[in-house]
């Protein structure tokens, strides 16, 4: 593959001017755009059409995605999403809608939002959902603002939020953005919330506890009812980070565990490919006594007609323009209807089975982060390999040479040299066996030639870089060849 930039391939002998289609007048830019707004010299490369097509086709082959390779990215549920859902979301009757159209013209779209909300209420036990937040972190922010508004209405001065030491980084960030002080509760040696410590930390100044269940080690919080009782006994609320809900579909509900406010990553659990910043969607659900605090508008029905309801007495207001990322809602709706109750339950069972299969096959090669059986994801520690000079990051980079995307590295922070692996329910046994084989092969390489790991990966267009320097001083400027 010719690795030059398209600007470096430019050939001035080739004309890049637009061809005027027959019988269609081609207006000059000056006749449409004021002269002062025109660029005098746009430095486009000059290439033939075939050269351009080949350049971008070859670039597309460098993309790593779940459609091309195994993508076991822990805590993000990078699973394959059926293309039929994409086709449904691309129907012109959806894509040609505009959010400013009158309600009478968008009854079908409002019905999708309304019925998706009802389905998620059944799956979670919540009373109502808002789909405005465009991503998980935004969903967290919305949920915590609801909790803040709830306590404010009750004239309660609460300024602390309890967060486990294994939590997603967005949890303390969200709490801080909402004006709270974060208080960390430690984990036990098994990786679960330390109940005794939690009792000491929760008091009348506690606003909420933010919790993921299963947690970031892939473990179900077995004493979740005790946690709920401790939090609620002091008047605080329990917030559910739904990043790991893929493990619980049809098995249990956040409401049964005592959660008051939740967010679900529709772009993780319910069939929208995510990454590179979007599109995403976080459905924020609440129990009955909190539904008046949800963002406006909600979709309701009266006399057989759907309408946008802005009349919520204690609403926190809007958190995003319009009504959320609608195309994501269409995909989630299609996904749930296609699978049904039993299909969704199989999703969870297979994701748990796949993770525990990897756990059993790799437990003698890599150290387990917890002695407990995992749910949908597992965390391995590479401390045995580090003793021989090879770190978790080195192993992750070596996986690239075998067509496997690196798992989440060095997270959760409470596990040294962590690799966090989520195989998801959509991967076949043969793919999992290949991953197991490669992980064992890499361990053999650690034993026999650890010095080689400083050179990996070998097969990528860009090899090892100074990651600290690259993160702080990214070079994103176009440089003309020879300059």
Chain segment 68-117, per-residue pLDDT in tens: 899 999 888 888 888 999 999 999 999 999 988 999 999 999 999 999 99
| DSSP structural state of residue 186 | P
Residue 210: strand, helix, or coil: strand
> How far apart (Å, rounded) are the C-alpha atoms in residues 79 and 333?
17
Q: What is the largest CA-CA distance in the chain?
A: 80
Q: Which residues pair with 73 in a beta bridge?
A: 421
In the block, tokens 């939590």 appear at 167
Listed in order, the ranges of the chain carrying CATH 3.40.640.10 are 83-338
E strand or H helix at 218, and its extent?
none
E strand or H helix at 378, and its extent?
strand 378-381
Listed in order, the ranges of the chain carrying CATH 3.90.1150.10 are 346-471
> How far apart (Å, rounded) are the C-alpha atoms in residues 355 and 464?
30
> How far apart (Å, rounded) are the C-alpha atoms in residues 148 and 185?
21
Cβ neighbours of residue 378 closer than 8 Å, sequence gap 6 or more: 218, 355, 356, 358, 359, 368, 369, 420, 421
What sign for the dihedral angle of Cα 211, 383, 71, 473?
positive
For residues 396 and 64, the answer to whether their CB atoms sit within 8 Å is no
For residues 422 and 72, the answer to whether their CB atoms sit within 8 Å is yes
Of residues 185 and 21, more confidently modeled? 185
Chain segment 283-324, per-residue pLDDT in tens: 999 999 999 999 999 999 999 999 999 999 999 999 998 888
For residues 212 and 167, the answer to whether their CB atoms sit within 8 Å is yes
User: Mean pLDDT across the chain, nearest whole number?
Assistant: 91
In terms of Cα–Cα distance, which of 125, 123, 118 is closest to 249? 123
Chain segment 325-384, per-residue pLDDT in tens: 999 999 999 999 999 999 999 999 999 999 999 999 999 999 999 999 999 999 999 999
What is 421-478 written as a DSSP string? E---TTS-HHHHHHHHHHHHHHHHHHHH-GGGGGG---SSSS----HHHHHHS-----
- What are φ and ψ of residue 389, in 5° steps? 100, 5
Q: Which two tokens stand for residue 184?
A: 């960390």
Q: Which residues pair with 284 in a beta bridge?
A: 130, 263
Chain segment 158-193, per-residue pLDDT in tens: 999 999 999 998 999 999 999 999 999 999 999 999
Give the predicted TM-score (pTM) of the model: 0.89
> How far apart (Å, rounded) are the C-alpha atoms in residues 301 and 296?
15
Predicted local confidence at residue 5, as pLDDT: 87
> How far apart (Å, rounded) are the C-alpha atoms in residues 152 and 218?
34
| DSSP structural state of residue 19 | P
The CATH label, of 3.90.1150.10, 3.90.1300.10, 3.40.190.10, 3.30.70.260, for the domain at 346-471 is: 3.90.1150.10
CATH number of 83-338: 3.40.640.10
Of residues 385 and 74, more confidently modeled? 385
Predicted local confidence at residue 353, as pLDDT: 98
Q: Which residues pair with 311 in a beta bridge?
A: none
Predicted local confidence at residue 39, as pLDDT: 74
Predicted local confidence at residue 21, as pLDDT: 57
- Asked if pLDDT for residue 403 goes beyond 60, the answer is yes
């Amino acid at each position: 593959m010719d690795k030059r930039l398209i600007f470096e391939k430019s050939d001035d002998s080739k004309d890049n001017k637009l061809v005027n289609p027959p019988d269609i007048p081609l207006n000059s830019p000056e006749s449409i755009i004021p002269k002062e707004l025109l660029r005098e010299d746009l430095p486009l490369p000059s290439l033939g059409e075939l050269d351009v097509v080949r350049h971008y086709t070859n670039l597309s082959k460098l993309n790593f995605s779940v459609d091309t390779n195994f993508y076991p990215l822990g805590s993000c549920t990078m699973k394959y999403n059926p293309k039929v859902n994409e086709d449904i979301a691309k129907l012109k009757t959806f894509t040609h809608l505009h959010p400013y159209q009158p309600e009478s013209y968008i009854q079908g779209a409002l019905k999708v939002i309304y019925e998706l909300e009802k389905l998620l209420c059944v799956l979670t036990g919540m009373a109502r959902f808002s789909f405005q937040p465009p991503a998980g972190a935004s969903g967290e922010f919305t949920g915590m603002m609801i909790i803040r508004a709830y306590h404010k209405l009750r004239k309660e001065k609460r300024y602390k939020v309890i967060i486990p030491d294994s939590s997603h980084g967005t949890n303390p960030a969200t709490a801080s953005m909402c004006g709270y002080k974060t208080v960390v509760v430690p984990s036990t040696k098994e990786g679960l919330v330390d109940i005794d410590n939690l009792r000491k930390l929760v008091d009348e100044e506690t606003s909420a506890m933010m919790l993921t269940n299963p947690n970031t080690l892939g473990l179900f919080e077995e004493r979740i009812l005790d946690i709920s009782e401790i939090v609620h006994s002091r008047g605080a609320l329990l917030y559910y980070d739904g990043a790991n809900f893929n493990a619980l579909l049809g098995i249990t509900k956040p409401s049964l565990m005592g959660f008051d406010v939740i967010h679900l990553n529709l772009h993780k659990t319910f069939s929208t490919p995510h990454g590179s910043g979007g599109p995403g969607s976080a459905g924020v659900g609440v129990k009955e006594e909190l539904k008046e605090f949800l963002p406006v508008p909600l979709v309701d029905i009266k006399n057989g007609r759907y309408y946008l309801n802005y009349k919520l007495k204690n609403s926190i207001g809007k958190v995003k323009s319009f009504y959320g990322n609608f195309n994501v809602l269409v995909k989630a709706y299609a996904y749930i209807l296609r699978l049904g109750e039993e299909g969704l339950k199989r999703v969870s069972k297979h994701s748990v089975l796949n993770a525990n299969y990897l756990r059993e096959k790799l437990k003698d090669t890599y150290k387990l982060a917890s002695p407990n059986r995992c749910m949908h994801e597992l965390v391995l520690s590479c401390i045995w390999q580090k003793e021989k000079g090879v770190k978790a990051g080195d192993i992750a980079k070596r996986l690239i040479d075998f067509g496997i995307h690196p798992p989440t590295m060095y997270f959760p922070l409470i596990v040294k040299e962590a690799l966090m692996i989520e195989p998801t329910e959509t991967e076949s046994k043969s793919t999992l066996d290949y991953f197991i084989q490669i992980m064992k092969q890499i361990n053999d390489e650690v034993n026999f030639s650890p010095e080689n790991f400083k050179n990996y990966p070998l097969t990528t267009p860009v090899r090892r870089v100074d990651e600290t320097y690259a993160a702080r001083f990214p070079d994103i400027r176009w440089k003309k060849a020879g300059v």
